[in-house]
Amino acid sequence: MAIEWESVIGLEIHCQLDTKTKVWCGCSSDYDNSPENTHTCPICLGHPGALPKLNKKVLDYAIKAGFALNCDINKESKFDRKNYFYPDTPKNYQITQFDHPYAEGGHIDIKLSNGSDKRIGVTRIHIEEDAGKSIHAGEESFINFNRASMPLIEIVSEPDMRSSEEAYQYLNLVKDALKYTKISDVSMELGSLRCDANISVMHKGAKAFGTRVEVKNLNSFKGVARAIDYEIGRQIEEIENGGEINQETRLWDEEAQVTRVMRSKEEAMDYRFFPEPDLVRIVITDEQLERLQDEMPESKVAKMARFVDDYKISENDAETLSNSIELADYFEKVVISSDNPKLSCNWILTEVLRILKDNNKTIEDFSINSEELGEIIKLIDKGAISSKIAKKLFEIKLNDERSPKAIVEEEKMAQVADTSEIEKMVVEVVANNPKLVEDYKVADEGRKPRVVKGLMGQVMKASKGKANPQMVMDILIEKLS
Ligand SMILES: [Zn+2]
């Protein structure tokens, strides 16, 4: 019988905090990737005697991340030095938090394919500084220190994930939770969110985990899932072929879709951690915690649940609407002015999102404000315009300053609900289609509605889509019989 394998995955996520200045100095964090070291000073360049001082905003943002990931915040914690020599580390050590992180014991709940929840533990979050960047160009190498001492938090998960799908979901939910707090732009593409994965395999049901391998250089969400799948397959094959898994660090090669050894255990560095003597201990007060708790937005998970409950929309729709706080706010404002949640949801998810996608825009730049879209939806709801005309109105409104009501009036788009006017059109269509009318008379009950539909289409066409469909139908049936 073939052996069943189980994989064990833990993630380390680095998130760059979106503060205006770096973590220890006043250098602007708004650096570009120019090769010139324009965003540097003696502190972030590690000049002897320069003293770091913690940016208060960094701690505020980090605490918000702790709240968002359901962590306990430690009122006291400290910074430590992680010593290693590498060209892009100007001080030859990194300031991080070793044994006393500021946040611990959090969690994120993912959804399994069978619909049940699974809780993934967040072991800890700590604050640390980023390194500079080495740039290799042909024979030459350059070092850019603009990124040196940019504020980061590192979020370490428990080894609770058992597949690439679970890891992918966890990573996405962490991103969503952080994005809502507006402490980071959480973009893997831009490097403000980075992820390393610890992966091992064991026989299904085994108690002890196998030897774990750390995989780095995961630059996209899909890349994380692919690298994990590749690494699980590689480890199982290695063991089944009689080999052993070495405790090592591997790099994901996105182009070749394989992982390659970066350094083995023997090459692992001894970081000689010790407390950072140039920084005081971090002390967080109750007042600070209360203030930050008050500033926390409703979480995405809570918002989705509320949308499903209050507005009776599907979980999927609630999820899409909650993708950004701004879109969710827009939706709620449209509902206030339209008084029709379902129709508001449909219009935003189809028409509005389509326009935003086509023009690569976000809801903040959308030309129809929530009140105006609410007005369009109200016009449909009241039967003043058909949904077909509403789409035309929407297209016009995209580049028109007039109110939807004014456009409907001035462009004569209102639905015709005048009995005599509709009757006139019906009589004309009936007179011009003797064949269809004859057809209707001989048709059985099952076929009659189809014939009526054909005639109705002609009346609608004659009215340029403006006739009230229900009235057309009623009058047609009356005339035919
Ligand atoms: Zn600086």
Q: Which residues, at least 6 apart from 108, have a Cβ–Cβ distance to it below 8 Å?
A: 69, 70, 119, 120, 122, 170, 173, 174, 177
Helix (H, G, I), strand (E, B) or coil at 219: coil
> CB within 8 A of 479, min separation 6: which ones?
426, 427, 430
Residue pointed to by tokens 């509320």: 306
Domain end point (choices 272, 289, 306): 289
| Span from the CA of 407 to the centroid of ligand 1 (angstroms) | 56
Residue 426, token pair as written in the block: 């019906």
Question: What is the pLDDT, as a whole number, of residue 217?
Answer: 86
Spell out the residues 6+ positions from residue 294 whose beta carbon is closer than 8 angstroms to its own.
Answer: none
Higher pLDDT, 130 or 382: 130
CA 44 – ligand 1 centroid, Å: 4
Select from 419, 430, 417 the least CA-distant residue to 476. Answer: 430
Q: Are residues 49 and 116 in the same domain?
A: yes
pLDDT for residue 460? 87
150 and 280 both lie in a single domain: yes
Q: How far is the CA of 146 from the centre of ligand 1 (A)?
A: 8
Q: What is the mean pLDDT of residues 305-317?
A: 97
Q: Does residue 198 share a domain with residue 101?
A: yes
Distance 95 CA to ligand 1 centre (A): 14
pLDDT per residue as tens digits for the range 55-92: 999 999 999 999 999 999 999 999 999 999 999 999 99
Task: In whole angstroms, give the CA distance from residue 162 to residue 168.
Answer: 11
Contact 200, 10 (CB under 8 A): no
pLDDT digit string, tens, across residues 6-24: 999 999 999 999 999 999 9
Q: State pLDDT tens for residues 250-296.
A: 999 999 999 999 988 777 778 999 999 999 999 999 999 999 999 99
Calculate how far, in angstroms, residue 196's C-alpha sits from the geometric centre of ligand 1: 27
Q: How far is the CA of 24 from the centre of ligand 1 (A)?
A: 7
Q: Which residues pair with 110 in a beta bridge?
A: 118
Mean pLDDT check: name the lowest of 57-71, 118-132, 305-319, 414-428: 414-428
Q: Give mean pLDDT, residues 437-451.
A: 86
Q: Which residues are within 8 A (CB) of 208 and not within 5 positions of it... i.e. 6 or more apart?
A: 202
Q: What mean pLDDT do residues 123-131 have?
A: 98
Q: Specify whether 126 is located in the same domain as 214.
A: yes
Asked whether 48 and 29 are in contact (CB, 8 A), the reply is no
Residue 265: name the closest of 211, 307, 219, 304 by CA.
211
- Distance from the CA of 216 to the center of ligand 1, in angstroms? 28
For the record, the structure tokens of 328 come out as 């969710």
Query: How much is the pLDDT for 322?
Result: 96
Task: Give the chain's domain count.
Answer: 3
Q: Give the distance (Å) from ligand 1 centre to CA of residue 19.
A: 13
Do 98 and 161 reside in the same domain of the chain? yes
Ligand 1 mean position, distance from CA 124 (Å) = 27
Give the span between the Cα atoms of 112 and 162, in whole angstroms: 11
| Residue bearing tokens 């059109």 | 425
What pLDDT is stored for residue 109 in this prediction?
96
Six-digit token string for 279: 């920084």
pLDDT for the residue numbered 200: 97
Task: Quote the ligand 1 centre to 29 CA distance (angstroms).
Answer: 9
pLDDT band, very low/low/confident/very high, at 443 (cuts 50, 70, 90): confident
Q: Are residues 311 and 276 in the same domain?
A: no
Residue 36 Cα to ligand 1 midpoint, Å, equals 14
Mean pLDDT of the region 92-118: 95
431 and 377 belong to one structural domain: no
Q: Which residue has the tokens 């409950």?
A: 309
Which of the two residues, 389 and 177, has the higher pLDDT score?
A: 177
Let me know whether 233 and 154 are in one domain: yes
Q: How much distance in Å is there from the Cα of 90 to the middle of ligand 1?
A: 11
Report the percent of the chain where pLDDT is more than 90.
75
Per-residue confidence band for 160, with pLDDT thresholds at 50, 70 and 90: very high
For residue 400, pLDDT beyond 80: yes
Q: Which pLDDT band holds residue 182 (cuts at 50, 70, 90)?
A: very high
CA of residue 362 to ligand 1 center, whole Å: 33
Separation of CA 38 and ligand 1 centre (Å): 10
Residue 43 shares a structural domain with residue 187: yes
The runs of H, that is alpha helices, within 13-161 are 56-68
Angle at 111 between CA 110 and CA 113, to 5 degrees: 140
| Domain edge (last residue) among 361, 387, 410 | 410
What confidence score (pLDDT) does residue 235 get?
Answer: 97
pLDDT digits (tens, 9 = 90+) for 225-258: 999 999 999 999 999 999 999 999 999 999 999 9
What does the alpha-carbon distance between residue 268 and residue 252 come to, in Å, rounded to a whole number? 18
Query: 443 C-alpha to center of ligand 1: Å?
Result: 85
Query: Residue 371 — pLDDT band, cuts 50, 70, 90?
Result: very high
37 and 148 in one domain?
yes
Q: For the chain, what is the mean pLDDT?
A: 93
Cβ atoms of 161 and 9 closer than 8 Å? yes
Q: What's the whole-number mean pLDDT along residues 464-477?
A: 85
My answer on whether 258 and 356 are in the same domain is no
* CA–centroid distance, residue 408 to ligand 1 (Å): 58
156/104 Cα distance (integer angstroms): 9
Q: Which residue has the tokens 């047609």?
A: 476
Show contacts of 438-446: CB within 8 Å, 24+ apart: 440/480, 441/480
How many helices (H) and strands (E) in the chain? 16, 16
Alpha-carbon gap, residue 420 to 407, rounded angstroms: 25
pLDDT higher than 70, residue 223 = yes
**CATH number for position 467:** 1.10.10.410
Residue 33 confidence (pLDDT): 66
Instruction: Kindly list the distances between the CA atom of residue 243 and the CA atoms of 122, 233, 239, in Å, as whole numbers in the listed order.
Output: 33, 14, 5
Ligand 1 center to 45 CA (angstroms):
7
The pLDDT of residue 157 is: 98
Same domain, 234 and 265: yes
Mean predicted confidence (pLDDT) in 361-383: 94
Distance of CA 23 from the midpoint of ligand 1 (Å) = 9
Among the candidates 410, 434, 465, a domain finishes at 410
* Residue 131 alpha carbon to ligand 1 centre in Å: 12
Reported as a single tens digit per residue, the pLDDT across 321-360 is 999 999 999 999 999 999 999 999 999 999 999 999 999 9
d(CA 183, CA 177): 10
How far is the centre of ligand 1, averaged over its atoms, from the C-alpha of 147 (Å)?
A: 10
Domain housing 386: 298-410
pLDDT at 2 over 80: no
CA of 21 relative to ligand 1 center, distance in Å:
8
Confidence band, pLDDT 50/70/90 cuts, at residue 137:
confident
Interval between CA 272 and ligand 1 midpoint (Å): 25
